[in-house]
Amino acid sequence: MIRERNWRSGLILLVLLAGSVITLFPIYMGVLNSFKTDGELLNDVLAAPASFQFSNYAAAIDKINFWRSLGNTAVIAAVGLLGIILFSSMAGYKLSRTPGRLSRFLFSLFILSMLIPFHSTMITLTKITRELHVQGSILGLGLIYIGLGVSFAIFLYHGFVKSIPRDLDEAAVMDGCGDFRLFFVVIFPLLLPITATNAILNLLWMWNDFLLPLLMLTDSDSYTLLLSTNMLFGQYGNNDWSGILASLVMAMLPVIIFYLLLQKYILNGIADGAVKG
């Protein structure tokens, strides 16, 4: 019995290890070959580099305009995140607390759009954003993300507010606290768990979003990390793989660091968001 259990446990471990190898293989290959010269790479992709070519990375930082692209991505995500958290928490709270037809209608209006694929609105969106002059700038892109992000965030806030006792609101009102002060001083701090979930989900979404920046940003100085990465085959020759791989490693580094530091919160947020959404 015990022997059988050991045998089975060993088999499971073996399967998981094999799966891990396959999962990490492209990343490992990418990192390994990013340190080689092109000649070495073409000669043998599996071998360790004879000497580490850090110059590939110096070139990569230049080719994908790394610091600039990183800064652009951060500004876009920060503007979007700030707006999404602030406006959605306000709306989600009030919609959850106010009974009546108008409140129900507004909530359904927000929720309904969670059905609409981005591809179905993107064509008209390019026209509207051009007319509103928010196209082409990173600030404008951040504002667009607020519009696209609020409905899901409102949905999560709306559900969470139900778990906060109404007595709190009433007590504060009795003390002569106005609606906005009540919200920002009493309620908003209590929303922290769902704010964290919302922040993580939205940050990951904006950071890894590709299509919207592709449609909105035309000037390479305002490119996000992904847009700069997408241009790599034009920047390098099609076969300059060691240079391309070094750029890819640089482009994914921020998100990997973020993941390894905050993975507990990220995994909880993902499970939370998916089940409720």
Partner 1 sequence: MAGNPITKRTVILLAFVLPALVFYAFFVLAPAFGGIWYSMTDWNGVNPAYSFIGLANYREALIEDENFLKSIGFTLKYVIAMVILQNVFAIMLAVLIESRRKTKSLFRTIFFMPNMISLIIGGMMWLFIFTKVLPDLAGRTGLLFLDQSWIGDPRLSFIAIIILSLWGGVGYLMVIYIAALQNIPDHVKEAAAIDGASGWQTLRYITMPMILPAITIGVFLTLNSSFKVFEAVFALTKGGPGRATQVIALNIFDEAFSQSNRYGYASAKAMILFLIVMAITFIQLAIMKKREVEA
Q: Taking CB under 8 A as the criterion, which residues in 250-269 touch partner 1?
A: 251-252, 255-256, 258-260, 263, 266-267
Q: How far is the CB of 53 from partner 1 (least distance, A)?
A: 16
For residue 170, the one-letter residue type is E
Structural contact between residues 73 and 137, judged by C-beta atoms closer than 8 angstroms: no
Is 18 one of the binding residues for partner 1 (CB under 8 A)? no
C-alpha angle with apex 267: 276 to 158, nearest 5 degrees?
A: 30
Axis crossing angle, helix 2-34 with helix 55-63, rounded to the nearest 10: 70
Nearer to partner 1, 76 or 245 (CB): 245
Which residues from 51-80 bind partner 1, rule CB under 8 A?
none
C-alpha angle with apex 114: 71 to 100, nearest 5 degrees?
A: 115
The mark string for 145-184 relative to partner 1 (x by CB under 8 A, - otherwise) is -xxx-xx--x------------------------x---x-
Tabulate helix, strand, coil % of the chain (nearest 5).
80, 0, 20
The span of 29-37, 48-56, 168-176, 190-198 binding partner 1 (CB under 8 A) equals: 29-37
The span of 54-62, 96-104, 163-171, 192-200 binding partner 1 (CB under 8 A) equals: 96-104
Which residues from 219-248 bind partner 1, rule CB under 8 A?
226, 229-230, 232, 241, 244-245, 248
Nearest by Cα to 197 from 251, 117, 116, 274: 274
The span of 51-59, 118-126, 161-169, 191-199 binding partner 1 (CB under 8 A) equals: 118-126
Q: In what helix (H) or strand (E) does residue 122 lie, and over which residues does it extend?
A: helix 118-131
